[in-house]
Structure 1
Amino acid sequence: MGRRPILPCRHDFRHATGHAILRDTDPKGAARMLFLIQCTQVAEGAGIRAAHYEAHRAYLRASPVDLKLSGPMVTDEAETPIGSVFIVDVPDRAAAEAFASGDPFAKAGLFEKVTVTRFLDITRGRPAFGPKGE
């Protein structure tokens, strides 16, 4: 199986290894970046989550941030929420951090740890491997 070609984007910066670092722009030409936001919930967070769930959902619906993916992290049996994950498309890290800190869950103290990490979507929204992307 050969290497898949890097799909075109408006800007294609190169890492020291020679691999492309993808950076795209919005329709107005402003830089866009993906960030993974991983929020680890406090042990006694079920009550906080329940009390602020509707405000959290309203925040997500009203946010100007381009939210690519979101959902709760759960235990293996998928019964108990243990945190939240978001992938956001924003101009910079500050915008991703502002989005995370503005969430009613965060304001209510639901999360003991929030990690914001730059994320590169090398698949550009397409299957990378497996039956449809081999």
Structure 2
Amino acid sequence: MLFALLCKDKPGHLDVRMDTRPTHLEYLNRLNAKGTLKIAGPFLDDEGKACGSLIIVEAESKEAARALADADPYAQAGLFESVEVRAYNWVFNKPEA
């Protein structure tokens, strides 16, 4: 099952994002190698600066998806103000397996 992780950065924490980015990318690369990661990228503010993240993962349950979100180095560094985990149904432009 797919889950969207909707992550909102804390205001004024761009430095935390940039400092933690290398380990965050390593984490996402590991998820990608396992086939768990489907989509990932930052939300941008009006100035074009990252202010959150959209990550779509495949997981057995909402709890398992939440565990993936909690293990993200960004979350562990205290970057996120909130993380919403929502079941997701990919309908259009889904790559064929």
Runs (4 or more) in structure 1 with deviation over 4 Å come to none
Alignment partner, residue 4 of structure 2: 36
The CA distance in 2 between the partners of 1:105 and 1:116, in whole Å, is 15
Count of residue correspondences: 93
Q: Which amino acid aligns with 1:52?
A: T
Post-superposition offset of 1:93 = 1.0
| TM value normalised by structure 2 | 0.87
**Aligned pair 1:125/2:94, yes or no?**
yes
Post-superposition offset of 1:124 = 6.8
Alignment partner, residue 104 of structure 1: 73
Structure 1: which 5+ runs fail to align? 1-32, 127-134
The CA distance in 1 between the partners of 2:74 and 2:35, in whole Å, is 17
The CA distance in 2 between the partners of 1:88 and 1:123, in whole Å, is 17
Structure 2: which 5+ runs fail to align? none
Q: Secondary structure at the match of 1:109?
A: coil
Q: Secondary structure at the match of 2:90?
A: coil
Alignment partner, residue 16 of structure 2: 48
Post-superposition offset of 1:66 = 1.5
The CA distance in 2 between the partners of 1:45 and 1:74, in whole Å, is 14
- Please list the CA deviations of residues 76-99 of structure 1 after superposition, one character each: whole Å capped at 9, or x if unmatched: 34x211100011111111211011
Cα contact 1:65–1:90 (8 A) shared by 2: no
Alignment partner, residue 4 of structure 1: none
Alignment partner, residue 61 of structure 1: 29
Post-superposition offset of 1:65 = 5.5
CA RMSD of superposed structures (Å):
1.5
Q: Which amino acid aligns with 1:67?
A: L
Alignment partner, residue 46 of structure 2: 76
